[in-house]
Structure 1
Amino acid sequence: MASQWKNSNGKFPEGKYIDHVNSEQAGWRSLGVRIREQPPCDEPIRNPGFSDHAVSLLLSKSIKVESFYKGKWRGLRQYFKGMGSLTPAGHECVVRRHFEGQSSLASLVLILHQDSVDSVAQELSRPGFTCKTVLNEVPFLDDPFVTNLSSSVVSALKAGAPDFYAQAAAQWLAAHLLLGSSRGIEWHKSLARERISDYRLVRVLEYIDAHLSDRLDLRALSREAGISQFHFAALFRKAVGASPHRHILQLRLQTARSMLCHTDKSILEIALSCGFGTESHFAAAFRREFSQSPMNFRSSQRAHSGFGEM
């Protein structure tokens, strides 16, 4: 995977790094995502405390890292691809990296906002089920759940997924980090016993149909269902068989497919009326779903039906 982010010309800009992926450019507000490549540096690096939490995962083959603690360099650890660290909000640290001949370092950073952690902690802390309410530093993170989630998030970001997806991903990440693996299993078992009522589900589905062209998010849908947004995504998926984001995407694509067949609207008009932010995002999603572009699909349908023949 590291070769995918290799700097082809071997030069770095004045900022000393290259951002290969940046979620801000996609309009994500609920979860920050960066894939960054840096040149070798043997000097100590001071990471200042930020207002949000950061999960950093290594994309390069391996690296050794020392941390400076109480006046001494200690804790030399070797990280392999997929491993990393959790740096809580407000936490400052000083590290020194041993590149051992590597030409650059590629890493993935997930930025988890404090308000997401606070809201999830509040939802999890209910009668009979308690959990911690703050995130602690984890200097050596080797967690398959976090690694797999990170990979899915990057894939979704590249595919043009909206902030709607980022909201759910941020909640699941916060819940996992607050609960840990064993408590997470216990929470999932308790959630399995809950369900959304038919009445609430119908209300949500009707709301989605009526607002398919709008910018939908978990806040609006959970408010319509009368359920907290943290529990809504899981309960919706259990009832419908797909996540809210996936269900809405399917509806939008099916609606767009019908419009391509039965209207003369432009591709851009169809994209916007079906809730896609841009024509390019619509075209990419349509191609993934139907294995052809919207224009090719429309042409093939018209040729098949004899559209335009005298």
Structure 2
Amino acid sequence: MNALADLQPPRFKQGACQVVSHRSRSWRFSRADLVERAGLGKEETTAVSSRHLLLLNLKGASERGQHFLDGRKAEFVRRKPGAILFIPAGCEWHGWEDGAPNAAYLSISVDPALVKKLCTELSGGQPPALSPDLGFEDPVIMNAARGIASEIDDRNPVSTMLTESFIATIFAQLLRKQRFVAPARKGGLTNCHLTRVVELIDEDLTAELSLVQLAEHIGFSVPHFCRAFRQTVGCPPHTFIVQRRLEQAQHQLRATNLSVTDIALACGFSSSSHFSNAFKRVVGTTPLNYRHSWSLG
């Protein structure tokens, strides 16, 4: 794609729908599009660009689909509000997906020249290769992306500087996240076993599942289960359960008006103070501040 094409609105989704609103702005090395749509059905997805593409799902969920990256089938990831998708420049992404009839997303496209410039200034070297990710949550990236969205309607002369600082935050976090992903090792849980354990946990996040219950659910001894689980997931079962509770709490903070106390109890925390301490330790902010930052105002 040429430079002129990169300045046009992104056209990576094709399907019958109504565009309720579309606000956008371009800067020296980037472009942001804030899009809300209604009447969605099954959509075809096609994207290959000379720019990095980041999508933040703001409303609606992607429930079903099939995706391919550079011609290879990729695992479909259900994306709820708050989920982030990243496609690096030059990567071909195509497939289809279906989900909620009403949706909104923030699209940010970035010239790789800016990322190269930032990495050169930092370390004097070339930026490491970035891998695509079809669905993840990261509060640092989400807040930086929302900072860029807030600049769409602000014509202040310092907007470009602010936007590039947010982009630096996004790519620093992407590089840190992707660089330290532990390689798969033998001796861990199979995908089938891990899926069954996660389904048991998600079935009732308020349940106090013991190691014996988790291990027996897939026919393992407790020592074997703990060893295999940690090797596969990278943390002990209890830590993982807390993470799942916090992920559900984040969703409820974004999607409901329930009080912090009600969300805490519904997600398996013994009290609002226990929930708030765990939330701030992992997410980096309080539940109320997280809910406030989610509002587009």
**TM-score, normalised on structure 1?**
0.45
Quick check: which has more Rg, 1 or 2?
1
**TM-score, normalised on structure 2?**
0.47
